[in-house]
């Protein structure tokens, strides 16, 4: 395409290869900008402006929702033990949205900082995924038929099948969080390596990284298919299915790079695929919050187990420290040569 040069902004040919975005032609900020220039750019029509606002506005929305849920609840104080998993979820959501805001604002400071933000972005998504896994284990699993060993064992015996199903449920319940913790650390190391030594497998590795937190919701999917979740827990069923719809749309836009792939240069400021990805990600998290709230309100009066700080916020903080060590390890490498 012809260059569309502007005194305040650059076209893709004017910025280093590692700072270019696929099919985004113009409205680039100056590489090696200052911090104040980056902050001012959120009010200018650059190709990162709406990438920032489509995360910043949802961040304010969720902070408002969590504030009212955790601090303005008339029945329970903010330090109620059964609120610990919701604190984990709130912490994860806040971190991933705040990190993404910072990444879109400051990724033109230098190529080194830009790649560090790439590492932090995947770390933040893993951190959010771990928080949602903890909330799912305490707020949703006790409401599912598939996680009720007595009921499922009766159903299996009626069909002439004999199995120690209760052992499987107990094993899954005990290992779910620790195994997810270890897998997320391993996958974070792999995602950082994919920018250096394992570039050939980077898309496979990133797909696996996103699939790890989603694997915790497998019991909900099993309940939906085999145990009539739509009839027994219609609210969970509705928000879970709608969440999966938003998630699918987010993945489609993020992978396809539509519409800028079809009309390069026409969506440099607003309407590009990454902004649609942000929008559908926000809707995904919102539906997740809806069924977590339902699960909390259904179980808080008579919880099967009270979560401990070490198993919830303690695990989140330990994971955060582990991620920080991983980023420190890989951020010292020189910027990688990124290929299209």
Do 188 and 210 touch, CB atoms closer than 8 A? no
- DSSP 3-state assignment of 10? strand
DSSP state of 67: H
Task: Give per-residue pLDDT as tens, 238-273.
Answer: 999 999 999 889 988 988 889 999 999 899 999 999
Task: Assess whether pLDDT exceeds 90 at residue 22.
Answer: no
The tokens for 296 are 């909390």
pLDDT category of residue 158 using cuts at 50, 70 and 90: low
At residue 10, what are phi and psi to the nearest 5 degrees?
-115, 160
Name the least confident of 64-68, 151-155, 226-230, 247-251.
151-155
Give yes or no for residue 208 having a pLDDT over 90. no
- Calculate what percentage of the chain has a pLDDT beyond 70: 86
228, containing H or E segment: none
Measured distance CA(143)–CA(232) in Å, rounded: 9
Q: Are 72 and 124 in contact (CB under 8 A)?
A: no
Phi-psi map region of 73: left, alpha, beta (phi>0 left; psi -120 to 50 alpha) = beta
* pLDDT greater than 70 at residue 202: no
E strand or H helix that includes residue 22: none
Mean pLDDT, residues 54-62:
97
* pLDDT greater at residue 279 or residue 73: 279
Residue showing tokens 């005194």: 7
Indicate the pTM of the whole model: 0.89
* Mean of all residue pLDDT scores within the chain: 85
C-alpha distances in angstroms, 108 versus 24, 77, 91?
15, 43, 27
Q: Is the dihedral of CA 85, 127, 121, 204 positive or negative?
A: negative
Closest CA to 31 of 9, 64, 57, 53: 9
Question: What's the average model confidence in pLDDT over 296-308?
Answer: 86
């Amino acid at each position: 395409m012809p260059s569309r040069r502007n005194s305040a902004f650059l076209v893709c040919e004017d910025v280093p290869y590692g700072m270019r975005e696929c099919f985004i032609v113009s409205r680039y900020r100056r590489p090696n900008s200052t911090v104040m220039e980056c902050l001012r750019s959120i009010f200018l029509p650059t190709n990162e402006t709406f990438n920032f606002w489509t995360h910043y506005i949802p961040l304010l929305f969720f902070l408002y929702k969590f504030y009212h849920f955790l601090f303005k609840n008339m029945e329970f104080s903010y330090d109620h033990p059964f609120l610990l998993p919701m604190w984990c979820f709130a912490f994860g959501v806040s971190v991933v949205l705040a990190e993404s805001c910072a990444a879109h604002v400051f990724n033109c400071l230098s190529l080194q900082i830009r790649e560090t933000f790439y590492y932090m972005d995947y770390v933040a998504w893993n951190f959010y995924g771990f928080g949602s896994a903890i909330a799912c284990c305490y707020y949703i699993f006790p409401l599912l038929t598939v996680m009720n060993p007595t009921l499922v064992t009766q159903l299996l015996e009626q069909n002439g099948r004999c199995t120690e199903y209760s052992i499987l449920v107990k094993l899954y319940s005990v290992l779910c969080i620790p195994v997810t913790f270890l897998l997320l650390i391993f996958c974070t190391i792999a995602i950082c390596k994919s920018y250096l030594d394992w570039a050939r497998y980077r898309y496979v590795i990133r797909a696996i990284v996103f699939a790890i937190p989603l694997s915790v919701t497998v019991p909900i999917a099993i309940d939906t298919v085999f145990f009539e979740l739509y009839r027994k827990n219609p609210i969970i069923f509705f928000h879970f299915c709608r969440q999966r719809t938003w998630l699918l749309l987010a993945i489609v836009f993020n992978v396809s790079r539509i519409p800028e792939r079809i009309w390069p240069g026409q969506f440099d400021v607003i309407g590009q695929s990454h902004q649609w990805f942000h929008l559908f990600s926000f809707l995904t998290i919102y539906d997740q919050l809806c069924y977590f709230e339902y699960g909390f309100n259904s179980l808080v009066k008579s919880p099967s187990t009270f979560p401990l700080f070490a198993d919830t916020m303690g695990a989140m903080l330990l994971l955060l420290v582990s991620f920080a060590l991983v980023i420190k390890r890989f951020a010292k490498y020189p910027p990688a040569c990124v290929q299209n």
